Structure 1
Amino acid sequence: MRASIVAQDPADPDAKMVARIAQGDERAAEMLVRRHFTRIYNLARRTLNDAAEAEDVAQETFLRLWKHAKSWRPEGAKFETWLARIALNLCFDRLRKRREITGDEMPELADEALTAPELLIAADRAQIVQEAMAALPARQRAAISLCHYQEMSNIDAARVLGVSVEALESLLSRGRRALRAALASEARELGLIRPNAAGAQI
Protein backbone atom coordinates (compact mmCIF):
# COMPACT_ATOMS: atom_id res chain seq x y z
CA MET A 1 0.00 0.00 0.00
CA ARG A 2 1.36 3.40 -0.94
CA ALA A 3 2.03 5.94 1.81
CA SER A 4 -0.52 8.72 2.01
CA ILE A 5 0.54 12.01 0.50
CA VAL A 6 0.56 15.14 2.63
CA ALA A 7 -2.10 17.57 1.43
CA GLN A 8 -0.46 20.52 -0.27
CA ASP A 9 -1.35 24.04 0.77
CA PRO A 10 -0.54 26.49 -2.03
CA ALA A 11 -0.34 29.30 0.55
CA ASP A 12 2.51 27.58 2.41
CA PRO A 13 5.82 27.79 0.50
CA ASP A 14 7.07 24.59 2.15
CA ALA A 15 4.04 22.40 1.43
CA LYS A 16 5.37 20.81 -1.75
CA MET A 17 8.70 20.01 -0.12
CA VAL A 18 7.03 18.40 2.88
CA ALA A 19 4.88 16.29 0.57
CA ARG A 20 8.02 15.12 -1.21
CA ILE A 21 9.73 14.32 2.09
CA ALA A 22 6.71 12.25 3.09
CA GLN A 23 7.44 10.16 -0.01
CA GLY A 24 11.09 9.71 0.97
CA ASP A 25 12.66 12.44 -1.17
CA GLU A 26 16.07 13.12 0.40
CA ARG A 27 16.73 16.06 -1.91
CA ALA A 28 13.62 17.83 -0.63
CA ALA A 29 14.73 17.17 2.94
CA GLU A 30 18.13 18.72 2.25
CA MET A 31 16.48 21.80 0.77
CA LEU A 32 14.23 22.30 3.80
CA VAL A 33 17.18 21.85 6.15
CA ARG A 34 19.06 24.59 4.30
CA ARG A 35 15.99 26.81 4.36
CA HIS A 36 15.12 26.44 8.05
CA PHE A 37 18.19 25.19 9.92
CA THR A 38 19.48 28.60 11.01
CA ARG A 39 16.06 29.68 12.28
CA ILE A 40 15.58 26.47 14.27
CA TYR A 41 19.14 26.56 15.61
CA ASN A 42 18.75 30.17 16.76
CA LEU A 43 15.45 29.38 18.47
CA ALA A 44 17.05 26.46 20.31
CA ARG A 45 20.15 28.50 21.13
CA ARG A 46 18.15 31.26 22.77
CA THR A 47 15.92 28.79 24.60
CA LEU A 48 18.71 26.56 25.91
CA ASN A 49 21.54 29.11 26.12
CA ASP A 50 23.89 26.37 24.96
CA ALA A 51 25.32 26.21 21.44
CA ALA A 52 26.15 22.50 21.47
CA GLU A 53 22.73 21.51 22.75
CA ALA A 54 21.09 23.83 20.23
CA GLU A 55 22.96 22.07 17.43
CA ASP A 56 21.74 18.71 18.74
CA VAL A 57 18.16 19.96 18.97
CA ALA A 58 18.24 21.36 15.45
CA GLN A 59 19.52 18.07 14.07
CA GLU A 60 16.94 16.07 16.02
CA THR A 61 14.19 18.41 14.80
CA PHE A 62 15.00 17.69 11.17
CA LEU A 63 15.38 13.99 11.86
CA ARG A 64 11.84 14.03 13.23
CA LEU A 65 10.70 15.95 10.18
CA TRP A 66 12.12 13.16 8.01
CA LYS A 67 10.40 10.47 10.06
CA HIS A 68 7.07 12.22 10.62
CA ALA A 69 6.52 14.49 7.61
CA LYS A 70 3.25 12.70 6.88
CA SER A 71 1.85 13.86 10.21
CA TRP A 72 1.93 17.55 9.25
CA ARG A 73 -1.49 18.91 8.29
CA PRO A 74 -1.50 22.30 6.53
CA GLU A 75 -4.97 23.06 7.85
CA GLY A 76 -3.66 22.73 11.40
CA ALA A 77 -0.63 25.03 11.35
CA LYS A 78 1.94 26.56 9.04
CA PHE A 79 4.90 24.29 8.43
CA GLU A 80 7.37 26.63 10.15
CA THR A 81 5.03 26.79 13.16
CA TRP A 82 4.83 22.99 13.30
CA LEU A 83 8.61 22.69 12.96
CA ALA A 84 9.26 25.29 15.66
CA ARG A 85 6.95 23.44 18.01
CA ILE A 86 8.94 20.24 17.50
CA ALA A 87 12.14 22.13 18.30
CA LEU A 88 10.71 23.79 21.40
CA ASN A 89 9.36 20.51 22.73
CA LEU A 90 12.84 19.05 22.39
CA CYS A 91 14.28 22.10 24.16
CA PHE A 92 11.79 21.82 27.01
CA ASP A 93 12.62 18.12 27.39
CA ARG A 94 16.27 19.06 27.86
CA LEU A 95 15.43 21.84 30.28
CA ARG A 96 13.34 19.46 32.36
CA LYS A 97 16.33 17.17 32.58
CA ARG A 98 18.34 20.12 33.88
CA ARG A 99 15.52 20.77 36.36
CA GLU A 100 15.40 24.30 34.99
CA ILE A 101 11.67 24.43 34.34
CA THR A 102 9.94 25.13 37.64
CA GLY A 103 7.03 27.16 36.30
CA ASP A 104 6.67 30.57 34.76
CA GLU A 105 5.58 32.49 37.82
CA MET A 106 7.94 35.23 38.90
CA PRO A 107 7.58 38.40 40.97
CA GLU A 108 6.11 41.37 39.18
CA LEU A 109 8.84 43.86 38.33
CA ALA A 110 8.35 47.58 38.23
CA ASP A 111 8.58 49.15 34.81
CA GLU A 112 11.85 50.96 34.22
CA ALA A 113 11.89 54.47 32.83
CA LEU A 114 14.56 53.45 30.36
CA THR A 115 13.45 51.39 27.40
CA ALA A 116 15.47 48.44 26.16
CA PRO A 117 16.48 50.21 22.90
CA GLU A 118 17.88 53.18 24.85
CA LEU A 119 19.95 50.88 27.00
CA LEU A 120 21.14 48.83 24.06
CA ILE A 121 22.51 51.91 22.34
CA ALA A 122 24.69 52.67 25.37
CA ALA A 123 25.66 49.15 26.41
CA ASP A 124 27.31 46.10 24.92
CA ARG A 125 24.20 44.92 23.12
CA ALA A 126 24.85 41.27 22.40
CA GLN A 127 26.35 40.28 25.74
CA ILE A 128 23.83 42.04 27.95
CA VAL A 129 20.81 40.81 26.01
CA GLN A 130 22.15 37.26 25.90
CA GLU A 131 22.66 37.19 29.65
CA ALA A 132 19.28 38.80 30.34
CA MET A 133 17.50 36.35 28.03
CA ALA A 134 19.26 33.39 29.65
CA ALA A 135 17.96 34.46 33.06
CA LEU A 136 14.30 34.35 31.97
CA PRO A 137 12.08 31.33 32.69
CA ALA A 138 12.14 28.99 29.71
CA ARG A 139 8.66 29.71 28.36
CA GLN A 140 9.07 33.48 28.61
CA ARG A 141 12.38 33.11 26.79
CA ALA A 142 10.71 31.01 24.11
CA ALA A 143 7.83 33.47 23.69
CA ILE A 144 10.21 36.39 23.16
CA SER A 145 12.37 34.36 20.78
CA LEU A 146 9.37 33.38 18.67
CA CYS A 147 7.80 36.82 18.46
CA HIS A 148 10.84 39.08 18.33
CA TYR A 149 13.60 36.99 16.78
CA GLN A 150 11.58 34.54 14.69
CA GLU A 151 9.08 37.33 13.85
CA MET A 152 6.07 35.07 14.30
CA SER A 153 2.62 36.50 14.85
CA ASN A 154 1.15 36.12 18.32
CA ILE A 155 -1.30 33.56 16.94
CA ASP A 156 1.44 31.39 15.43
CA ALA A 157 3.69 31.72 18.48
CA ALA A 158 0.81 30.70 20.75
CA ARG A 159 0.27 27.61 18.60
CA VAL A 160 3.95 26.70 18.88
CA LEU A 161 3.82 26.98 22.66
CA GLY A 162 0.44 25.28 22.90
CA VAL A 163 -1.15 28.16 24.80
CA SER A 164 -3.87 30.72 24.18
CA VAL A 165 -3.01 34.09 22.65
CA GLU A 166 -3.86 35.68 26.01
CA ALA A 167 -1.41 33.38 27.80
CA LEU A 168 1.27 34.17 25.22
CA GLU A 169 0.75 37.90 25.72
CA SER A 170 1.14 37.38 29.46
CA LEU A 171 4.43 35.54 28.89
CA LEU A 172 5.63 38.34 26.62
CA SER A 173 4.62 41.05 29.08
CA ARG A 174 6.40 39.41 32.02
CA GLY A 175 9.43 38.62 29.89
CA ARG A 176 9.72 42.19 28.63
CA ARG A 177 9.45 43.60 32.15
CA ALA A 178 12.15 41.23 33.34
CA LEU A 179 14.39 42.17 30.42
CA ARG A 180 13.93 45.89 31.04
CA ALA A 181 14.81 45.44 34.70
CA ALA A 182 17.83 43.25 33.93
CA LEU A 183 19.12 45.59 31.24
CA ALA A 184 18.69 48.64 33.45
CA SER A 185 20.47 46.91 36.34
CA GLU A 186 23.35 45.87 34.10
CA ALA A 187 23.65 49.36 32.66
CA ARG A 188 23.84 50.85 36.16
CA GLU A 189 26.58 48.41 37.13
CA LEU A 190 28.52 49.44 34.04
CA GLY A 191 28.04 53.10 34.95
CA LEU A 192 26.02 53.80 31.84
CA ILE A 193 23.16 55.44 33.74
CA ARG A 194 22.94 57.27 37.06
CA PRO A 195 21.19 55.22 39.77
CA ASN A 196 18.92 58.08 40.79
CA ALA A 197 18.37 59.66 37.41
CA ALA A 198 15.78 57.58 35.59
CA GLY A 199 16.12 57.91 31.87
CA ALA A 200 19.43 59.78 32.06
CA GLN A 201 22.44 58.52 30.18
CA ILE A 202 26.02 59.42 30.93
Structure 2
Amino acid sequence: MVIVATEVSEATVAAIAQQNKSALGTLSGAWFSVNAPDAPCPDGDTRALFSASRNHDAELMAAFARGDQSAARALTERHAGRALSVATRMLGETMEAQDVTQEAMLRLFRKAPDWDGERAQVSTWLYRVVSNLCIDRLRGRRSEPLDAAGEPEDETPSVDARLQQMDRAKALHAAIDRLPDRQRLAVTLRHIEELSNPEVAVVMETSVDAVESLLARGGRALRAALGRRRDDLGAME
Protein backbone atom coordinates (compact mmCIF):
# COMPACT_ATOMS: atom_id res chain seq x y z
CA MET A 1 0.00 0.00 0.00
CA VAL A 2 1.46 3.34 -1.04
CA ILE A 3 1.32 6.00 1.65
CA VAL A 4 -0.65 9.04 0.52
CA ALA A 5 0.20 12.16 2.49
CA THR A 6 0.99 15.81 2.18
CA GLU A 7 4.41 16.92 1.00
CA VAL A 8 7.10 17.10 3.66
CA SER A 9 8.56 20.61 3.61
CA GLU A 10 12.29 21.26 3.51
CA ALA A 11 11.87 23.35 6.66
CA THR A 12 10.49 20.31 8.48
CA VAL A 13 13.32 18.14 7.22
CA ALA A 14 15.86 20.77 8.27
CA ALA A 15 14.35 20.93 11.74
CA ILE A 16 14.54 17.15 12.02
CA ALA A 17 18.17 17.29 10.90
CA GLN A 18 19.03 19.60 13.80
CA GLN A 19 17.19 17.38 16.28
CA ASN A 20 18.91 14.25 15.03
CA LYS A 21 22.45 15.61 15.26
CA SER A 22 22.50 14.90 18.98
CA ALA A 23 21.17 11.40 18.37
CA LEU A 24 23.94 10.66 15.87
CA GLY A 25 26.49 12.03 18.30
CA THR A 26 25.20 9.67 20.97
CA LEU A 27 25.62 6.76 18.59
CA SER A 28 29.29 7.58 17.93
CA GLY A 29 32.27 6.84 20.15
CA ALA A 30 32.55 3.27 21.38
CA TRP A 31 29.96 2.15 18.81
CA PHE A 32 32.63 1.72 16.17
CA SER A 33 34.57 -1.06 17.86
CA VAL A 34 33.25 -4.25 16.31
CA ASN A 35 33.60 -5.95 19.68
CA ALA A 36 31.95 -3.22 21.76
CA PRO A 37 29.52 -5.04 24.10
CA ASP A 38 27.31 -2.02 24.74
CA ALA A 39 26.77 -0.80 21.17
CA PRO A 40 23.57 1.29 21.41
CA CYS A 41 21.39 -0.37 18.79
CA PRO A 42 17.79 -0.30 20.09
CA ASP A 43 16.70 -3.27 18.00
CA GLY A 44 19.60 -5.62 18.67
CA ASP A 45 21.78 -7.02 15.92
CA THR A 46 21.45 -6.44 12.19
CA ARG A 47 19.34 -9.55 11.68
CA ALA A 48 16.79 -8.08 14.09
CA LEU A 49 16.57 -5.00 11.90
CA PHE A 50 15.76 -7.11 8.86
CA SER A 51 13.19 -9.18 10.76
CA ALA A 52 11.59 -6.18 12.54
CA SER A 53 8.06 -5.29 11.58
CA ARG A 54 7.97 -3.72 8.13
CA ASN A 55 4.51 -2.47 8.97
CA HIS A 56 5.81 -0.56 11.98
CA ASP A 57 8.39 1.27 9.84
CA ALA A 58 5.72 2.04 7.25
CA GLU A 59 3.49 3.42 10.01
CA LEU A 60 6.33 5.62 11.24
CA MET A 61 6.97 6.89 7.71
CA ALA A 62 3.26 7.66 7.31
CA ALA A 63 3.17 9.42 10.68
CA PHE A 64 6.13 11.60 9.73
CA ALA A 65 4.50 12.44 6.39
CA ARG A 66 1.45 13.62 8.37
CA GLY A 67 3.66 15.95 10.41
CA ASP A 68 4.51 13.83 13.46
CA GLN A 69 8.15 14.73 14.04
CA SER A 70 8.50 12.20 16.85
CA ALA A 71 8.25 9.52 14.14
CA ALA A 72 11.53 10.78 12.67
CA ARG A 73 13.19 10.38 16.05
CA ALA A 74 11.83 6.84 16.31
CA LEU A 75 13.13 5.96 12.84
CA THR A 76 16.53 7.39 13.75
CA GLU A 77 16.66 5.33 16.95
CA ARG A 78 15.66 2.18 15.07
CA HIS A 79 17.99 2.44 12.09
CA ALA A 80 20.68 5.12 12.31
CA GLY A 81 22.99 3.12 14.58
CA ARG A 82 23.70 0.31 12.13
CA ALA A 83 23.82 2.72 9.21
CA LEU A 84 26.42 4.73 11.12
CA SER A 85 28.40 1.58 11.85
CA VAL A 86 28.55 0.65 8.15
CA ALA A 87 29.55 4.20 7.17
CA THR A 88 32.34 4.26 9.75
CA ARG A 89 33.74 0.91 8.68
CA MET A 90 33.67 2.04 5.06
CA LEU A 91 35.11 5.52 5.60
CA GLY A 92 37.23 5.12 8.72
CA GLU A 93 36.32 8.59 9.99
CA THR A 94 33.66 9.25 12.61
CA MET A 95 32.70 12.77 11.55
CA GLU A 96 32.44 11.88 7.88
CA ALA A 97 30.42 8.77 8.73
CA GLN A 98 28.02 10.91 10.76
CA ASP A 99 27.64 13.26 7.79
CA VAL A 100 26.81 10.32 5.51
CA THR A 101 24.32 8.87 7.99
CA GLN A 102 22.68 12.27 8.43
CA GLU A 103 22.34 12.67 4.65
CA ALA A 104 20.90 9.16 4.29
CA MET A 105 18.34 9.79 7.04
CA LEU A 106 17.32 13.09 5.45
CA ARG A 107 16.80 11.34 2.12
CA LEU A 108 14.65 8.78 3.91
CA PHE A 109 12.51 11.49 5.50
CA ARG A 110 12.02 13.22 2.14
CA LYS A 111 10.61 9.99 0.74
CA ALA A 112 8.02 9.66 3.50
CA PRO A 113 5.01 10.95 1.50
CA ASP A 114 5.59 8.37 -1.24
CA TRP A 115 6.90 5.48 0.84
CA ASP A 116 5.58 2.07 -0.20
CA GLY A 117 6.15 -0.32 2.68
CA GLU A 118 5.28 -3.34 0.55
CA ARG A 119 8.05 -2.65 -1.96
CA ALA A 120 10.93 -1.67 0.31
CA GLN A 121 12.22 -2.11 3.85
CA VAL A 122 13.60 0.97 5.56
CA SER A 123 16.67 -0.92 6.76
CA THR A 124 17.57 -2.28 3.31
CA TRP A 125 16.88 1.04 1.59
CA LEU A 126 19.00 2.90 4.14
CA TYR A 127 21.95 0.49 3.86
CA ARG A 128 21.89 0.94 0.09
CA VAL A 129 21.92 4.74 0.28
CA VAL A 130 24.68 4.77 2.91
CA SER A 131 26.76 2.36 0.83
CA ASN A 132 26.43 4.48 -2.30
CA LEU A 133 27.26 7.69 -0.44
CA CYS A 134 30.35 6.07 1.08
CA ILE A 135 31.57 4.76 -2.26
CA ASP A 136 31.14 8.23 -3.78
CA ARG A 137 33.26 9.73 -1.02
CA LEU A 138 35.92 7.05 -1.27
CA ARG A 139 36.33 7.73 -4.96
CA GLY A 140 37.21 11.32 -4.09
CA ARG A 141 39.99 10.57 -1.59
CA ARG A 142 42.02 7.61 -2.79
CA SER A 143 45.33 8.91 -1.45
CA GLU A 144 44.27 9.62 2.14
CA PRO A 145 46.00 7.64 4.94
CA LEU A 146 44.25 4.64 6.42
CA ASP A 147 42.46 5.05 9.72
CA ALA A 148 41.69 1.97 11.78
CA ALA A 149 38.47 1.73 13.78
CA GLY A 150 38.41 1.66 17.58
CA GLU A 151 40.34 -1.09 19.27
CA PRO A 152 38.47 -3.98 20.90
CA GLU A 153 39.13 -4.28 24.60
CA ASP A 154 41.28 -7.15 25.84
CA GLU A 155 41.11 -8.13 29.50
CA THR A 156 44.34 -10.16 29.39
CA PRO A 157 46.58 -8.84 32.17
CA SER A 158 49.74 -9.24 30.09
CA VAL A 159 50.84 -5.96 28.51
CA ASP A 160 52.46 -7.87 25.66
CA ALA A 161 49.23 -9.76 25.00
CA ARG A 162 47.21 -6.55 24.97
CA LEU A 163 49.63 -4.90 22.56
CA GLN A 164 49.54 -7.92 20.27
CA GLN A 165 45.74 -7.93 20.31
CA MET A 166 45.73 -4.25 19.38
CA ASP A 167 48.20 -4.90 16.57
CA ARG A 168 45.98 -7.68 15.24
CA ALA A 169 42.91 -5.43 15.25
CA LYS A 170 44.83 -2.66 13.49
CA ALA A 171 46.17 -5.08 10.91
CA LEU A 172 42.70 -6.48 10.19
CA HIS A 173 41.08 -3.07 9.91
CA ALA A 174 43.90 -1.76 7.73
CA ALA A 175 43.66 -4.83 5.48
CA ILE A 176 39.89 -4.33 5.11
CA ASP A 177 40.47 -0.65 4.33
CA ARG A 178 42.78 -1.62 1.46
CA LEU A 179 40.18 -3.81 -0.24
CA PRO A 180 38.46 -2.50 -3.37
CA ASP A 181 35.27 -0.63 -2.49
CA ARG A 182 32.75 -3.34 -3.31
CA GLN A 183 34.80 -6.10 -1.68
CA ARG A 184 35.14 -3.94 1.44
CA LEU A 185 31.40 -3.30 1.50
CA ALA A 186 30.57 -6.99 1.07
CA VAL A 187 33.02 -8.03 3.81
CA THR A 188 31.71 -5.32 6.15
CA LEU A 189 28.06 -6.21 5.66
CA ARG A 190 28.60 -9.97 5.85
CA HIS A 191 31.25 -10.41 8.54
CA ILE A 192 30.95 -7.27 10.69
CA GLU A 193 27.26 -6.38 10.35
CA GLU A 194 26.40 -10.12 10.06
CA LEU A 195 23.92 -9.87 7.20
CA SER A 196 23.20 -13.02 5.25
CA ASN A 197 24.45 -13.31 1.66
CA PRO A 198 20.94 -12.68 0.25
CA GLU A 199 20.60 -9.58 2.46
CA VAL A 200 23.98 -8.29 1.27
CA ALA A 201 22.86 -8.88 -2.31
CA VAL A 202 19.74 -6.78 -1.76
CA VAL A 203 21.75 -3.91 -0.25
CA MET A 204 24.37 -4.00 -3.02
CA GLU A 205 21.76 -4.50 -5.76
CA THR A 206 23.51 -7.55 -7.15
CA SER A 207 23.14 -11.33 -7.20
CA VAL A 208 23.97 -13.74 -4.39
CA ASP A 209 26.58 -15.32 -6.68
CA ALA A 210 28.24 -11.93 -7.14
CA VAL A 211 28.27 -11.40 -3.37
CA GLU A 212 29.88 -14.80 -2.84
CA SER A 213 32.52 -13.93 -5.43
CA LEU A 214 33.24 -10.59 -3.74
CA LEU A 215 33.52 -12.30 -0.35
CA ALA A 216 35.82 -15.00 -1.72
CA ARG A 217 38.15 -12.47 -3.34
CA GLY A 218 38.06 -10.24 -0.29
CA GLY A 219 38.81 -13.18 1.97
CA ARG A 220 41.79 -14.23 -0.12
CA ALA A 221 43.15 -10.69 -0.07
CA LEU A 222 42.76 -10.46 3.70
CA ARG A 223 44.44 -13.81 4.30
CA ALA A 224 47.32 -12.82 2.06
CA ALA A 225 47.75 -9.44 3.75
CA LEU A 226 47.60 -10.87 7.27
CA GLY A 227 49.70 -13.89 6.35
CA ARG A 228 52.62 -11.65 5.45
CA ARG A 229 52.60 -10.38 9.05
CA ARG A 230 52.20 -13.74 10.78
CA ASP A 231 55.57 -13.49 12.56
CA ASP A 232 54.70 -10.06 13.97
CA LEU A 233 51.09 -10.77 14.86
CA GLY A 234 51.20 -14.38 16.01
CA ALA A 235 48.44 -16.87 15.21
CA MET A 236 45.19 -15.24 14.14
CA GLU A 237 41.80 -16.92 13.85
Query: What range describes the TM-score normalised by the shorter chain of this pair?
Result: 0.7 to 0.9
Amino acid at match of 1:17: L
Matches within 5 A, 1:17-36: 17-36=60-79
Q: Hey, what does 1:69 align to over in structure 2? A: 112
Shift in CA distance, 11/174, structure 1 to aligned 2, threshold 3 Å: same
**2: distance between equivalents of 1:162 and 1:44?**
17
Shift of 1:98: 2.5
**2: distance between equivalents of 1:147 and 1:25?**
35
Shift in CA distance, 127/191, structure 1 to aligned 2, threshold 3 Å: closer
8 A Cα contact 1:123 1:187, kept in partner:
no
Match for residue 176 of structure 1 among 210, 215, 219:
219
8 A Cα contact 1:123 1:192, kept in partner:
no
Q: Hey, what does 1:116 align to over in structure 2? A: none
**1: distance between equivalents of 2:169 and 2:219?**
16
Q: Hey, what does 1:192 align to over in structure 2? A: 234
Q: Which runs of 5+ in 1 are unaligned?
A: 101-121, 194-198
8 A Cα contact 2:4 2:114, kept in partner:
no
Matches within 5 A, 1:42-191: 42-98=85-141, 123-124=165-166, 125-188=168-231, 190=232
Deviations 1:157-195 (A, max 9, x none): 11111111111111111111111222222333x1626xx
Shift in CA distance, 42/36, structure 1 to aligned 2, threshold 3 Å: same
Shift of 1:147: 1.5
Deviations 1:87-125 (A, max 9, x none): 11111111222358xxxxxxxxxxxxxxxxxxxxx7434
Aligned residues: 167
Shift of 1:11: 4.1
- TM-score where L is the length of structure 2: 0.63
Q: Tell me if 1:4 matches 2:47.
A: no
8 A Cα contact 1:81 1:157, kept in partner:
no
- TM-score where L is the length of structure 1: 0.73
- Note the aligned Cα RMSD (angstroms): 2.5
Shift in CA distance, 69/184, structure 1 to aligned 2, threshold 3 Å: farther
Q: Which runs of 5+ in 2 are unaligned?
A: 6-51, 144-163
**1: distance between equivalents of 2:103 and 2:193?**
19
8 A Cα contact 1:44 1:91, kept in partner:
yes
Shift in CA distance, 74/154, structure 1 to aligned 2, threshold 3 Å: farther
Shift in CA distance, 71/87, structure 1 to aligned 2, threshold 3 Å: farther
Shift of 1:152: 1.7
Amino acid at match of 1:29: A
Shift in CA distance, 21/186, structure 1 to aligned 2, threshold 3 Å: farther
Shift of 1:156: 1.9
Shift in CA distance, 20/151, structure 1 to aligned 2, threshold 3 Å: farther
Shift of 1:50: 2.2
